[in-house]
Structure 1
Amino acid sequence: MSAETDLVKLYSNRILGLAADIPHQTRLETPDASVKRRAPLCGSTVTVDVVMKDGRVAEYGQDVKACALGQAAASVVGANVIGTTPDQIRAALDALKAMLKEGGPAPEAPFDGLEVLRPAQEYKNRHASILLSLEALNEAMGQISQSDCA
């Protein structure tokens, strides 16, 4: 397959559609945690704000400045994050890493829509941008659990 055909496959209409429709793009005024992550290779950044209630994500806001792949990942995460637990977020991050790096299965529901990013497996330079949203969200969960223990 030619490099041009590979890029067309990578930037499918589904990925471009997700990138164009990112939910929860308003930052929260009083989050329980706020984390900004940056992919050094490409400069993509994602900032997430989270409010937890009863051990689940109750409110979510994000600011996404990333390539189409990072935007698509942020779109899937944003569309499915409300109501999730820290364990579900951690499991989704681990599964997404395994899917991209080892060809593992896609994350389980509610983050199973990240399967659309499987074609990026061959593009290691894109992995960091794709992982930003879940990494920032996972870090926010860690900050919240630390503050609960303090």
Structure 2
Amino acid sequence: MSDAEMMQLYSKRILALAADIPHLGPIEGAQGSAKTRSPHCGSTVTAHVRMQDGRIADFGQEVRACALGQASAGVLGQAVMGASRAEIAAGAEQLLAMLKQGGKVPDAPFDGLEVLIPARDYPNRHASIMLSWQATLEAIDAAEADRQTASHG
């Protein structure tokens, strides 16, 4: 990868998102948590959620990833509060399609992921970009499983 390609990939917008990730750290009273890891680069993201009426009422994330993974976590963190699992899943699917199939930019409120379009050409970075989304979905699933167990216990 040339220096010019690296500069485009790590644009100022990406670096700004990476430097200002909302909802960093664990949360009090998390109902579900999940840690995901990229086998390609070793990046990890742990997500913590507290759900209310099927929507995210509180959220925290611990992000140990490259600037692209951090930028993706930043966009997710900006729009995650109040989102349902289906909305997070749709954003993740649209992000993956944008990266792998040249699909359109994800719908609002996740349209800030447009900044990651240059990463299409770097498939080895896609796993890191998807980590926060996978961790969040798994944390929601864990919270739901815990709720199901509690209501049947």
Q: Quickly name the TM-score band, shorter chain normalised.
A: over 0.9
Output one character per residue of 1:72-125: Cα deviation in whole Å (capped at 9) or x when no partner.
Answer: 111111111001111100101111110100000121111111111111000001
Output one character per residue of 1:4-53: Cα deviation in whole Å (capped at 9) or x when no partner.
Answer: 22111111000000111111112112211000001011010000100111
Tell me the secondary structure at the aligned position of residue 64 of structure 1.
Answer: strand
1:58 aligns to what?
57
* Match status 1:102 vs 2:111: no
1:10 aligns to what?
9
Distance 1:121 1:101 in 2: 6
1:122 aligns to what?
121
Tell me the secondary structure at the aligned position of residue 129 of structure 1.
Answer: helix
* Match status 1:19 vs 2:51: no
Distance 2:143 2:19 in 1: 30
TM-score, normalised by the number of residues in structure 2: 0.93
Residue 56 of structure 2 aligns with an amino acid whose one-letter code is V
Higher mean C-alpha displacement, 122-131 vs 22-31: 22-31
Q: Does the CA contact (< 8 Å) of 2:31 and 2:50 recur in 1?
A: yes
* Match status 1:73 vs 2:53: no
* Match status 1:44 vs 2:43: yes
Q: Does the CA contact (< 8 Å) of 2:95 and 2:105 recur in 1?
A: yes
Distance 1:140 1:92 in 2: 16
How many pairs does the alignment contain?
Answer: 149
Distance 1:107 1:146 in 2: 28
Structure 1 residue runs without a partner (length 5+): none
Structure 2 residue runs without a partner (length 5+): none
Distance 2:10 2:95 in 1: 18
Tell me the secondary structure at the aligned position of residue 26 of structure 2.
Answer: coil
1:31 aligns to what?
30
Percent identity, please: 52
Tell me the secondary structure at the aligned position of residue 131 of structure 1.
Answer: helix
Tell me the secondary structure at the aligned position of residue 18 of structure 1.
Answer: helix
